[in-house]
Amino acid sequence: MMKNVFFTYGLFLLPLLINTQQTFAQNHRKLVFADEFNYKGLPDSTKWAYEDGFVRNKEPQYYTKKRLENCRVENGCLVIETRKEDYPNAAYKKGSDKADQKEPIAHYTSASINTKGKESWKYGRIEVRAKVPGGLGIWPAFWMLGYDRGAVKWPQCGEIDIMEFLGRDSTRIYGTVHYLDTAGKSRDKGEAPVVGNPSDGFHIYAIDWDDQSISFYYDSLKYFVFDFKKAEHNPGAVFQKDFYVLLNMALGHEGSWAGPVDDKILPAKYYIDYVRVYQ
């Protein structure tokens, strides 16, 4: 369970100039990566790779690869669609007790794409403009993992959750870091401000990241700063290396952080207008 410090922000803050941070980034930094999704079909294969199968957290959705029903670009947006449907599990092994192999059929499908093997960055402003869906059990995210994931285990690789949204907690967004501290213990730090209703339209989710800290934004609202030197539990150099970006929509289940799924909300669509990285 994530340990978060919650602050409630009144709705009077929402009309602030939502493009302030974006304009600052454009004026003071170089755009080093962007996908504006101004094309049609599958995501650009020079920028995006796929996760596939049952991947993590015993989540019920099966991530498909290069399947338009779950991941496509149309009308200027990337659309990640989570569906209730039966889909064969390619990794199934009869008699296996491994989470990704024991079920022959998945009952939900979705998509998770990332820039690993394509692009990675150390520091900068990383932002997405996106519209999340509502509904119980829904769990869209925009996040980052240390590029050495695979060579080292999680959370030693580090994780930066720029945005997580839970349909069961529809007035908040979550920004969190996960890491192994210098004492070798797993840590997570973050905040989850009340911002109104993120599923009401498109919003900007971003971080400003340098060798001292990571600042988290919802539109123009800076709601959390993780200062490496001031952290109660020292992260060391975990956040001073290359990370790659992930976009996905997961589902919860009974007993999970995201909670059980209300099948009536499906299919659900997560719209991404753009992803940009400035340095």
Residues with Cβ within 8 Å of residue 216, at least 6 apart in sequence? 162, 175, 190, 191, 206, 207, 222, 223, 224, 225, 226
Instruction: Considering the candidates 36, 159, 191, 232, report the single residue annotated as catalytic.
Output: 159
Instruction: Considering the candidates 164, 191, 232, 254, report the single residue annotated as catalytic.
Output: 164
119 in catalytic set:
no
How many Å apart are CA 229 and CA 227, to the nearest integer?
A: 6
Q: Any idea which residues carry the catalytic annotation?
A: 159, 164
